[in-house]
A = this chain, B = another copy of it.
């Protein structure tokens, strides 16, 4: 571990659930069939962005809100500040990277099947008391 013990990782391998199949591993959005819905989310004016426990808990709340299935979660705290976190889902993934000194966090929420990434936005807004959240939607694999 690094010098001051401030830089650390938290890894959880979640117990395998009975159905880890991607039952329907495509998604339908606005009537468009695609491999997955990918939300690119920018949090501005956020708070708590250096708090690894808050960030892990928020990722888990997002997974629940989206009705997704968590397979694996990894969060990492950097020195002097900043957190990276990734939740691997049966439906794809959620990632977050934070720049606490400027109140900014970059997330991406990628989900296929019936999981609902939109449901994560209010969770993020509330968790980080964000002044502004921008969401860009990409429908991945439309032509696939």
Q: Which residues of A contact B (CB under 8 A)?
A: 1-2, 7, 9, 11, 13, 16, 18-22, 25-26, 35-36, 38, 40, 42, 44, 71-72, 74, 76, 78-80, 82, 84, 86, 88-90, 92-93, 95, 97, 99, 102-104, 106, 108, 110, 112, 136, 138, 140-141, 143-144
A18 touches B2 (CB 8 A): yes
Task: Count the copies.
Answer: 2
Closest to A89 in B: B84
Question: In the complex the two chains form, what is the Cα distance from A92 to B78 in whole Å?
Answer: 11
Residues of chain B with a CB closer than 8 A to A38's CB: 40, 106, 108
B141 touches A106 (CB 8 A): yes
